[in-house]
Amino acid sequence: MKAAQALYKKELVGYFQSPVAYVFLIVFLLSTVGTTFFLGRFFESGQASLEIFFLFHPWLYLFLVPAAGMGLWAEERSQGTLEILFTLPISLWGAVTAKFLAAWSFLGIALALTFPMVLTLWYLGSPDNGVMLAGYLGSFLMAGAYLAVSSLTSALTRNQVISFILSVILCFGLVLAGWGVFMEILSGFLPQSVTEWISNFSFTTHFQSLLRGVIDLGDLTYFFSLILAGLWTTGLVLDFKRGRD
């Protein structure tokens, strides 16, 4: 446990020792502001709600989270430090979990830095704090699900660019599966039961439920199951590749 905690702290501190982390934070914050106030026309909506703010998160995370997670394991493999890591007194699953939690914490910090949006809403009106809290929870869990996919793709290759591309493709599929326009297209030639079944695998479907302020056990189970599946598969891939690089 102590070894896992040490690795977690090392990885998290490592993010802030690189200028890339600060570039990521700036890009993320500017992107959220741009999509909310310009694309989403926040002030013109006349609503004391962060729905517009959260509405763009699945699309922002589609590129930003793979960028943050592409080096989780690809960098270790390309630099030949993977075997060194596994000689430390830490289990494979402990290392996978620690590195994931460090990256997820970094994403959580980026999300927390959007607090001026909450302050703005409190200044302009009387928003439902419960709905806002559910939205932030949903966004954080969705970021973790994106990151779990990125962790897997990073374990599959030494090349961070390839990891990024694979992650974007997989996550795009999981977003698209619940997108209204795509669902309408599918409903044109597939039974409704099949369309709904496909939609249940989408980030969008479960995230939208949380945006309405409904914290449903099914939605939480979906995100945590996807995260655990991604980490478990990452561990299997790394165990298979151990000693082969």
Cβ-based burial of 117 (10 A; exposed 0-12, middle 13-18, buried ≥19): buried
Q: How far apart are CA 122 and CA 131, in angstroms?
A: 13
What's the pLDDT at 12?
92
**Predicted local distance difference test score (pLDDT) of residue 183:** 64
C-alpha span between 96 and 117 (Å, rounded): 33
Count CA within 13 A, CB hemisphere, residue 175.
Answer: 19
Rounded CA-CA distance 190/180 in Å is 15
Q: What is the pLDDT along the chain (245 residues), one digit of tens a residue?
A: 777 888 899 999 988 888 888 999 999 999 998 888 888 777 676 676 788 899 899 999 999 999 999 988 988 877 877 777 777 788 888 999 999 999 999 999 999 999 988 888 888 778 888 999 999 999 999 999 999 999 999 999 989 999 999 999 999 988 887 666 656 666 666 666 667 767 777 888 889 888 888 888 989 999 999 999 999 999 999 988 775 65
pLDDT at 74: 86
Categorise residue 127: left if φ over 0, alpha if ψ from -120 to 50, beta otherwise: beta
Q: How far apart are CA 179 and CA 176, in angstroms?
A: 5
The predicted model scores a pTM of: 0.91
Distance of alpha carbon 166 from its chain centroid, rounded? 15
Residue whose entry in the numeric block shows the structure tokens 């897997």: 152
Q: Is 124 helix (H, G, I), strand (E, B) or coil?
A: helix
